[in-house]
């Protein structure tokens, strides 16, 4: 078999440099290491790609229900009552309030909106539905004061975003005015499409995806855990979805966007042609990532009413 098929790679120099820099902190076989080691590597990786905080932005940490850590971001200029609720990625295994702090700060500042991020429980110490329940509890907390919410998340956070938005619809909750799914894992079948074509993609492989699913132990076919399993997507809020071409999760984003559109949902879909999984971190060193992040921030701004 052609090596290019075995190991598909983008050609943009910035994203290739980003990938090389990532592997210096988080090796390609990281999932073979202990959970503790994976988290140490991931924390070091996140620190490597930290960025200066926007001028005038304030942060405040707190707890929801006396148990679930959250971080509130208030930019220097707030132009909407709508809040962004951000759920971080990390395969349900790694990640924290700090891992996506700079991303959250920049999104809040660009959209001129308050943002709240969540530090949900991680697997394998807490298998499904712990993370889902934590994220859903914070969503209900935010909706309780009557202010509109846009829910956003990347990778595993994109899965949790789609899941709790489906749960809110099932519960008859109002107030969610948008969702943004960033290279989300939505429960694709692992044996077709991009899961085969991009099985050995840089940054995330299909084997990695299978590993994270096994660690999480989510029930197969449950739409809150695998949103692509939902029979009906009608009535969901306006949605922005961004995927990466060189990513086994690519077709999850494509399929969900197509199904949302077919169900009458207002959906904007963008696929980054030279990007790999986790490209948000490359936004300050890759032209493609910089443009993708700008488009994402603009999409979220539209959802919150400032774009």
Query: Which of these, 194, 117, 195, lies nearest to 157 by C-alpha position?
Result: 117
* Catalytic sites, residue numbers: 155, 247, 277
- How far apart are the C-alpha atoms of 100 and 105, rounded to whole Å? 9
Other beta carbons less than 10 A from residue 60's beta carbon: 10
Give the containing element (helix H, strand E) for 120: none
Angle at the Cα of 51 (from 123 to 298), degrees rounded to 5? 85
Query: Which of these, 175, 169, 198, 193, lies nearest to 260 by C-alpha position?
Result: 169
- How far apart are the C-alpha atoms of 238 and 150, rounded to whole Å? 9
Contact 114, 72 (CB under 8 A): yes
CA dihedral 108, 101, 257, 159 (to 10 degrees): -140
- How far apart are the C-alpha atoms of 151 and 117, rounded to whole Å? 10
| Gyration radius of the chain's alpha carbons | 18
């Amino acid at each position: 078999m052609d090596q290019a098929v075995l190991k598909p790679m983008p050609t943009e120099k910035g994203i290739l440099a980003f990938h090389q820099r990532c592997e210096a902190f988080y090796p390609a076989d990281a999932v073979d290491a202990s959970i503790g080691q994976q988290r140490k590597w991931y924390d070091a990786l996140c620190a490597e790609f930290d960025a200066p905080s926007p001028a005038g932005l304030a942060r405040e940490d707190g707890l929801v229900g006396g148990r679930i850590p959250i971080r509130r971001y208030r930019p220097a200029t707030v132009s909407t009552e709508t809040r962004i609720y951000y759920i971080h990625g990390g395969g349900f295994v790694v990640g924290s309030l700090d891992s996506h702090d700079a991303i959250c700060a920049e999104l809040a500042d660009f959209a001129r909106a308050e943002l709240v991020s969540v530090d949900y429980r991680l697997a394998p110490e807490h298998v499904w539905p712990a993370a889902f329940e934590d994220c859903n509890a914070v969503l209900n907390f935010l909706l309780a004061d009557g202010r509109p919410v846009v829910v956003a998340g990347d990778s595993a956070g994109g899965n949790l975003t789609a899941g709790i938005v489906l749960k809110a619809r099932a519960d008859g909750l109002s107030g969610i005015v948008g969702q943004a799914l960033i290279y989300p894992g939505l429960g694709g079948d692992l044996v077709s499409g991009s899961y085969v074509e991009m099985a050995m993609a840089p940054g995330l492989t299909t084997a990695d995806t299978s590993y994270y699913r096994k660690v999480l132990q989510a029930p197969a076919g449950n739409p809150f855990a695998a949103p692509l399993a939902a029979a009906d997507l009608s009535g969901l809020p306006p949605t922005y979805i961004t995927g990466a071409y060189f990513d086994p999760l690519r077709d999850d984003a494509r399929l969900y966007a197509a199904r949302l559109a077919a169900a009458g949902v207002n959906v904007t879909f963008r696929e980054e042609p030279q990007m790999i999984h986790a490209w948000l971190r490359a936004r300050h060193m890759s032209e493609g990532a910089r443009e993708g992040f700008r488009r994402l921030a603009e999409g979220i701004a539209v959802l919150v009413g400032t774009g």
